[in-house]
Every structure is written in structure tokens, then in C-alpha cells.
Amino acid sequence: MKIIPAIDLKDGNCVRLFKGDFEKTTHYSSNPAGIGKRFSELAVSDLHIVDLDGARTGDQHNRDIVAAIASNTTLDVQLGGGIRSRDDIENWQQVGVKRCVVGSVAIREPEVVFGWLDKFGPDAMVLALDVKLSAEDLPILTTHGWTRDANVSLWQCLDRYRERGVRHVLCTDVARDGAMTGPNFALYEEILSRYPGLELQASGGVRHCSDLEHLRDIGVPAAITGRALLDGEITADEVASFRQNA
């Protein structure tokens, strides 16, 4: 299983949100490029960056920071937050972003994103599907930086995109993100059961190495972790052990 470190950007800083709430922010560093360098020294091949400002407003105010991180690391950088046009994807590719993470627009305008998949290919894009569980435990998609319910289930969305060849999907249970309560293992098991062969990235709630081991044991191909790495709850040696056992 791949371990993918995460950097969340807000106002030029590296931060973490609690359950996606912009009013509940933990500041980690005013030097996100330094965090990127630190993560590049781990035994990993990928780096996940979220432009939180872009996710909320659609404006790419952190572009220079992302470009600096991408140009100073050998990691495959995937970026999400405010990517809403074909030009956005092309512009990010020009500064070294390997995969663009598409969220809200994929739910609002699937036909547009189908066209992007056709043009750029399935390995250039990651579908980001953020969910909140209903009272019946049905995963309902959220948009606009997790602030709005889309009234579409995860299963309805994935059924359509799998037919169009989507390969990489990042799924976050919003209630788990930044909360250090553990990933939603049952959700990921059901995704993999319904869509075998999907390059699923589990995101949200990873607390320690045992959570990563559990995700690996249920067959999750990749797991994103930010806060646990930043807080030192997951060590470099533990990250390296996943590559050694791959």
C-alpha cells in the first residue's frame, strides 16, 4: 500500500482543518515548501496537496507555493482545490503537477469531467469524493470544500464514472478528517467490494501506523495522511516499512 503524505494550504500556510471546518484550523508551518521537502525525504513516491483557499473560492492564490513544491521534489504531486476548468488542469501540469484532483465539478458537471478524462487520460486525474453519512449510513457527497450536500450518493456517482474509465478515486469521510478518530474502514471495504480494481485512496482519520496496517489488510491501495505525520504519530521508519513490505 502506498503512503501519501498530505499538505493542506490556507493563506500561504500549512494547516489542518477539523472535520473540514475552516473556522477550526490548526497552523503547522508558514513554510509549506519546507514541509514538502521533509515529506520528500520519506520512503514515499507521491505527495498530496490541497489548496483549501481554491476549494472554497475557486481562485488559485497558492499557485506559487504549489509550483515551488512540485519543482523541488521528485515525488509525483497530486493537487486538489478549485480545479474547475480544462485550463486549470493544463496550467497545473505545466508547473509539474502529475495528477489533478477534481471534486465539486465532478459532481455538478459530470459530462465536463468525462471530457477531461478523455483528453488527459485516467492517470492524470483523481476523482475526489467527500462524503457525509446519512442517518441510514448512506454516503452522501459534499461539495464546495465540504460545505454543501450534493444530494447524490457515492454509489450513484461512482457507477457513472467507472463506466467512463476513472481509475484513481480519493474518498474522505468528512466526519473523520482531522479528527484523529480512525478511518472509516467499513466504507472503504464496501467501495472495494463494489468496484474491484479501483485505485482507491483512503483519506481522513488516520491516527497511527495501526490504522495504516488495517487499511492495507482490507486491500486499500493507497492511504493519505497529513496530521499524523505532522504530529509525529507516524514515524519515518513506519512509513518505510510499507514500502519494504509492498
Instruction: Report how far apart, in Å, the C-alpha atoms of 36 and of each of 49, 50, 232, 243 are.
Output: 9, 12, 15, 19
| Catalytic-role residue among 130, 173, 177, 211 | 130
The reported pLDDT for the residue numbered 56 is 76
Quickly state the pLDDT bin for 23 (edges 50, 70, 90).
low
- Does residue 21 have a pLDDT over 70? no
The reported pLDDT for the residue numbered 49 is 96
Residue 60 lies in domain = 2-244
Q: Which set of grid coordinates corresponds to residue 9?
A: 494550504
3-state secondary structure the chain: CEEEEEEEEECCEEEEEECCEEEEEEEEECCHHHHHHHHHCCCCCEEEEEEHHHHHHCCCCCHHHHHHHHHCCCCEEEEECCCCCHHHHHHHHHCCCCEEEECHHHHHCHHHHHHHHHHHCHHHEEEEEEEEECCCCCEEEEECCCCEEEEEEHHHHHHHHHHCCCCEEEEEECCCCCCCCCCCHHHHHHHHHHCCCCEEEEECCCCCHHHHHHHHHCCCCEEEECHHHHCCCCCHHHHHHHHHCC
- Is position 76 annotated as part of the catalytic site? no
Which tens digit of pLDDT belongs to each residue from 226-243? 999 999 999 999 999 997
Cβ neighbours for 128, distance < 8 A, ≥ 6 positions apart: 80, 101, 102, 103, 106, 169, 170, 171, 172
Rounded to two decimals, what is the model's pTM? 0.91
Which tens digit of pLDDT belongs to each residue from 88-102? 999 999 999 999 999
- Is position 130 annotated as part of the catalytic site? yes
Mean pLDDT of the chain: 90
Domain count, the chain: 1
Quickly state the pLDDT bin for 175 (edges 50, 70, 90).
confident
CATH number of the domain at 84, please: 3.20.20.70
Quickly state the pLDDT bin for 137 (edges 50, 70, 90).
confident
| Catalytic-role residue among 8, 46, 53, 173 | 8
